[in-house]
Amino acid sequence: MIKVGVKALNPIYEKLLEILFDVSSEQSSTKSAPENPACGQCDVTALVVQDVLGGNILKTPLPAGWHFI
């Protein structure tokens, strides 16, 4: 079970986090690195979360480039 602070996550969020950690790699983004596997994963992560939970994907410009949330 994954805990954030003192609260346990809802099982669907726990499974989603597990999946996202498993699929973040240099194969899915050239910016990904062992010390920061989530780097460059914003668009893929947003699509997976939208597929599982629904909702809208938002795109915002940041100094490092476009990010999707």
16-66: per-residue pLDDT in tens?
Answer: 888 887 777 777 777 777 787 777 888 888 888 888 888 998 888 888 788
- SS3 category, 4: strand
For residue 56, the model assigns a pLDDT of 92
The pTM score is: 0.61
Q: Where are the domains of the chain?
A: 33-69
The CB density around residue 62, as the number of other CB atoms within 10 Å, is: 8
For residue 4, the model assigns a pLDDT of 54
